Structure 1
Amino acid sequence: MSSRILSIDDDAGIRRSLGAYLEDCGHEVIEAADGRSGLEAFERGQPELVLCDLGLPDMSGLEVVAALHARSPDTPLIVISGMAAVGDAVQALKRGAWDYITKPIADFGVLDTAITHALERAGLIRQNREQQARLEAMNRQLAHTLRQLQEDEEAARTLQQRLLPPDGLGFGAYRFTRRLLPSAYLSGDFIDYFALDGQRIGFYLADVAGHGAASAFVAVILKTLVGRYLRAHVRQGDATILHPAQTLAQLNRDFCAEGLDKHATMLYGVIDQREDLLCWGNAGHFPYPLLHDGVGARFLAHPGRPIGLFENARYQEHCLHLPQRCRLLIASDGLLELLPPQPRAGRAEGLLPHLDDVDGSLENFMQRLGLEQQAERIDDIALLEIDRHG
């Protein structure tokens, strides 16, 4: 990862050695010998990361840290100093430093790790701020559009489609494919997936009860709440979004507190790419998710309570390791309307023969069920397929 790095240190030898090492690693290096010239170089060069000594000749290194943080709080700032007192490290971190390394640096791998982690964290913060800005812009558009939804439900449907994630998005060995097939009436089916960090992926399929603009609006609120939990993880280290049971419990509390007079079923999961571990929680979602593990298809049958109905509802978390070749299919209950009439649980069993090939595609699954894009339906059908090959 090549970046522009500002190095502020009064020791010319250390500046040169650090600069040479960082340039060998592919970074562009800007050097400054004191605090004031460092602040000027920051304004001119707009670096993506700053390395700063605390023992500067013209002003306190802690003052430089505080000034840089005030100007650009999202720019990573790593203190590298020979002043190894714990108090100095604590003060630097309080004033905005992201990390603290003592010198002389015996192992440059420590510096590499600190720089890599800081840049990755800064990238996630930037991505989430951009995502939040997009959501806020969409929410402003939604507020304007809601006044017309009773007369123009098609406008709400278009907005709902725009909030969906890109189809066919890949995260390492995992590919996410989604379809949202509209019914004659606007409803609250929704799908989303996103990177939680460099290792984990979050995803969900939700179905807000009822039809019309109100259900679609609640689906937008649900997406906004999940986005809030994601930002809390990136910015403050809040681990709620990493744990499906905790995420569903928090959504349930937020739904009940908002008094939305709506409830939703939802399947939320997290995939750890490093461990190939799937963990999920079920908030009343049915049919249960279908997993083809390369041998055969089966339901991951664990029930749960919807969000927004019971204030003190508890949710369970279930985990399993994913094989190298597998398909996970999650569908809303609108899909069951296509199957022969019989008791609800028995009707879901009719999906198993249509997922008999681990190398199949979502399009193939839809064709086998006769899902026509233009067919008139009484309920939306939301489909999310996650496949892993290799």
Structure 2
Amino acid sequence: MTDRSRKLLIIDDDTLVRQSVATYLEDSGFEVIQVADGSSGVRAIAENLPDLVITDLRMPDLDGLQVLQQLHEQLPDLPVIVISGAGVMSDVVTALRLGARDYLIKPIMDMEMLVHSVRKALDHSDLILQNQRYRDKLEQANRGLREHLRILERDQLAGRQVQRRLMPTRLHTHDGYDVGHYIAPSLYLSGDFVDYAHIKKRYLAFYLADVSGHGASSAFVTIWLKHIVSRMVREEGLFGDADSFERGTDAMLQIINRELNETRLNHHLTFFVGVIDTLTREMRYVVAGHLPMPILVTADGARFLEGFGKPVGIFKNVTWQIYTLQLPEEFSLICFSDGVLEILPQKELLDKEAHLLNLIAQQGQSLESVCDALAIKEIGETPDDIAILTITRGK
């Protein structure tokens, strides 16, 4: 803003001083209004809304300090410069305490000093106004952000409800198999997913998947995964007969891998996929970049299953080795996503795995005892999603 667009008000009962100051300021480019007393000054402020006030202290009727007091209460951001011939220190202190930006002593020998004081006070006033505008814009942006966050939270909660509805319920088969799961998401939505089904009352198929990344995009992939696996079971007879039991785990991952690469969802998955023939207790499984390996607990103790394979969704034309295991009549199979490693106190991976194996061997054979052993339900925020899948028989 230029000096010529700035409006100044001078309040002084000394006509000679008032006119000389007004003339010099007008020559310096300011628009100037003059009044001769404090009461007229207060009215002129209300009528003309000046950018700055210059006032004398010693005036009849309403003096400069009383004008300052009113402005301090009603227009605290309006800059005021005091000029006075009294020069009493107590007046100076009071004027500055009431918000005066400067205090000049009459007679003003160098008018440029007054012009400098005026411009400095106006610049300070501009800075305050600019900061207020920034604060207003910031508050408006913050209100918008809070509203967006509320909408996002509602969407996330809705997505979480959808995801939970897609999760399987606890499964008890007539031949003694008990299957359950627990998922602790690091955010509202989880990138970990489990599913299982007792197909044709013989083949117990299950998987635990961990989608790369976190949040809504990873959760979307889990919904897509649920759909594609359900389609394979429903329409293509996955795990519905002896042939699919033998080869289905690898076939399932090949189809998911191909569709992931074709759809370019920009996510990859780690998997543990298994199927148990509940009549013979033979289990076939594949491993796709999954850590830690599932733990098998039997009467002989606890051990990690063997297995290795590439993650799903990175490489094309991949096959996965199918591993075979004969299960005893009584056993517990516990599968974890890699988020469980993040809550263990050890630093090295091998130490974490050894601690987890020992913990499960001593305390964890059912879903409830595993959760208790890890105190997983007592943990607040977790650095990564944690999924647990348990399959037990005779325990």
The reply to whether TM is greater than 0.5 is yes
1:204 to 190, 207, 220: 207
Q: Deviations over 1:35-72 (max 9, x none)?
A: xxxxxxxxxxxxxxxxxxxxxxxxxxxxxxxxxxxxxx
Aligned partners of 1:233 and 1:240 also within 8 Å: no
The CA distance in 2 between the partners of 1:361 and 1:349, in whole Å, is: 19
Partner of 1:195: 198
Aligned to 1:388: 393
Over residues 280-335 of structure 1, what are the superposed CA-to-partner deviations in whole Å (9 max), with x where a residue is unaligned?
00111110010012210000131211111101222010011110110000011111
Q: Which deviations, in whole Å up to 9, do the C-alpha atoms of 1:129-169 show, x marking residues without a partner?
A: xxxxxxxxxxxxxxxxxxx6576312211211110011244
Verify the 8 A CA contact 2:239 2:275 in the aligned structure 1. no
The reply on whether 1:172 has 2:172 as its aligned counterpart is no
CA deviation string 1:3-49 (max 9, x = no partner): xxxxxxxxxxxxxxxxxxxxxxxxxxxxxxxxxxxxxxxxxxxxxxx
Aligned partner letter, 1:211: H
Instruction: Note if 1:160 corresponds to 2:163.
Output: yes
State whether structure 2 residue 336 is matched by structure 1 residue 355.
no
Shift of 1:215: 0.6
- The 1:235/1:367 distance shift into structure 2, 3 A limit, reads closer
Amino acid at match of 1:278: M
Deviation per CA, 1:115-141: give whole Å up to 9, x if none. Answer: xxxxxxxxxxxxxxxxxxxxxxxxxxx
Residue in structure 1 matched with residue 186 of structure 2 by the alignment? 183
Task: Give the counterpart letter for 1:230 in structure 2.
Answer: V
| Structure 1 runs not aligned, ≥5 long | 1-147
SS in 2 for 1:257: helix
Match of 2:218 among 208, 215, 218: 215
Secondary structure in 1 matching 2:212: strand
Name the CA distance, whole Å, in 2 between partners of 1:182 and 1:353: 25
1:93-122: CA deviations, max 9, x gaps?
xxxxxxxxxxxxxxxxxxxxxxxxxxxxxx
Of 258, 275, 281, which residue of structure 1 is paired with 2:280?
275
Shift of 1:246: 1.8
Secondary structure of the residue aligned to 1:320 is: strand
Which of these residues, 274, 290, 294, is aligned with residue 295 of structure 2?
290
Counterpart contact for 2:296–2:305, Cα < 8 Å = yes
One-letter amino acid of the structure 2 residue matched with residue 158 of structure 1: Q
Whether the 8 Å contact between 1:252 and 1:311 is mirrored in structure 2 is yes
Partner Cα separation in structure 2 for residue 235 and residue 344 of structure 1: 35
Write the letter of the residue equivalent to 1:189.
D
Give, in whole Å, the separation in 2 of the partners of 1:361 and 1:290: 12
Which stretch shows the higher mean deviation, 166-175 or 326-335? 166-175
Contiguous gaps of at least 5 residues in structure 2: 1-150
Distance in 2 between residues matched to 1:236 and 1:272, nearest whole Å: 10
Residue 256 of structure 2 corresponds to residue 243 of structure 1:
no
Supply the distance in 1 between the matched residues of 2:364 and 2:385 (Cα, whole angstroms).
26
Which has a greater percent of helix? 2
1:284/1:306 contact within 8 Å kept: yes
SS across alignment from 2:346: coil
CA contact (8 A) 1:327 1:358 kept: no
Q: Does 1:342 align with 2:347?
A: yes
Partner of 1:327: 332
Instruction: Note closer, same or farther for the CA distance 1:226–1:240 as it changes in structure 2 (3 Å cut).
Output: farther
Quote the RMSD (CA, aligned, Å). Answer: 2.4
The whole-number CA distance in structure 1 between the counterparts of 2:360 and 2:226 is: 29
Structure 2: distance between partners of 1:153 and 1:374 = 21
Is 1:252 the equivalent of 2:257?
A: yes
Rounded Cα–Cα distance in structure 2 between residues aligned with 1:344 and 1:358: 21
The equivalent residue for 1:302 is 307
Alignment check: 8 A CA contact 1:293 1:326 kept: yes
Q: Provide, for residues 238-259 of structure 1, a one-character-per-residue CA deviation record: whole Å limited to 9, x for no partner.
A: 9557621221122111211121
Counterparts of 1:2-21 in structure 2 under 5 Å? none
Q: Shift of the alpha carbon at 1:212? A: 1.5
- Give the aligned residue type for 1:355: I
Whether the aligned pair in 2 keeps the contact of 1:202 and 1:270 (CA below 8 Å) is yes
Percent of pairs with identical residues: 38
Whole-angstrom distance in 2 between the partners of 1:310 and 1:370: 37
TM-score (norm 2): 0.57
Larger Rg: 2
Larger mean CA deviation between 180-189 and 328-337 belongs to 180-189
Pair 1:309–1:363, CA change in 2 (3 A) = same
Structure 1 distance, partners of 2:254, 2:345, is: 35
